[in-house]
Structure 1
Amino acid sequence: MTRAVVVNLGLPKTGTTTLARALRRAGYRTADWKIRPRQTPRTELHDAFVARILYEDYFASGDPLARLGGFSAITEMSAMVPPDHVLWPQTDWGLIDAIRRHHPQARFLLSHRAAALTADSMVRWRNLGSQRLPKHGVPGLPAGFGHARGELARWIDAHAAFVRRVFAGDPALLEFDVGDPGAPAAIGAHLGCSLPWWGHANRTAPGAGDGTGAGAACTSTC
């Protein structure tokens, strides 16, 4: 069955892992921040970050999905593994626009939940919110900002506003709250499929500290 590619523009800790699992169980070939060797015979993509592939192909050919044609869904786009992989394609208008132009049938999602809850989860998810985001900086959140949960929440809200503005009036985008009981049905209707599973994957444990939310585990040097 041929499906239009699905691209999630949500930030880490907004249910991206839950979405990845749900789409896989619905039959989608899903890329979730990093390509595992078992997912493709293309050895040059093994263990590559999705964000790196998107940018390499965007600048090489204009089509960010040129080498990801074997995948039908991307659920986590960003990579936050300093110093070489601090990449946030979901914040980049040029890259998003290129996907829309090269893949006009693509369906987009914006996973989210209350900004304060997302900020709290980022802070508790290993060292994503406590070290990497404030130290290294990302689009909209320069280095030195983000130590406070309120600063993270402002950035999170601004990203959602950015995506809404980019897709204003475009039915190709569905925004959903991962905690909404109606989310699975809304996603299924948007994509034209049924989601046989919906739950809570990659849960942040209370009091957890230091690691990754966007990318692979990060060492103390990050």
Structure 2
Amino acid sequence: MPRNDWTIGFDADDTLWENETFFRTTEAQFVEMLGDFADRDHLMNHLMEAETRNLASYGFGIKGFVLSMIESAIQVTEGRVDSRTIGKIVDWGKDMLAHPVDLLPGARAAVEAMAERGDVVLITKGDLLDQERKLALSGLGELFTSVEIVSDKRPETYARIFARHDSHRALMVGNSLKSDVIPAIEAGHWGVHIPFETTWAFEMAEAPVDHPRFRALPQIGHLVGLVDSL
């Protein structure tokens, strides 16, 4: 197999290292803190609506999440939220931005193996500084041919990125059907879904199980066998 036969794209958050768990932990703290003003379901729905609405302005990532929590706190309390509560939300965000990077089992081995089979590209969305920080702490940076930190993941995103590499075939690996798998398939490439234990509701989508370029794996350690079989 030629060295440049493949271009393999890897998602970062919850594919190579843990991320969504920290959002859900902070979300639970937020709901508990404002429990005197509304019940859990109302607070969860209100925050989700704020996050979705604000994506166009703030993009994906921790900073937008923090701003959406502050907005929700102001609205749910009808402006009665105090400065100490706002300060606590800001501190949660700082804690999230400083959290250590924990590689998921098999992540390094999978990236190393794919680097022997073609160009390996990190394709991630979110805050530029935070994603750069996590990549540096992960120790994986030297394995990637290129790193793409994008505002969103659409079919044209994958078409543009993969077109830069002189490979016969391209494949995207990630935990999000909505952002990693489906748009890569729509761009004409392979999409490999490796689910994580927690998925943000915004990233939920139906798996394209009947599509010939869709594959699902229970864990990233199975990626080598899959790529070698295609």
Interval containing the TM-score (normalised by the shorter chain): 0.3 to 0.5
Greater helix share, 1 or 2? 2
TM-score using structure 1 length: 0.33
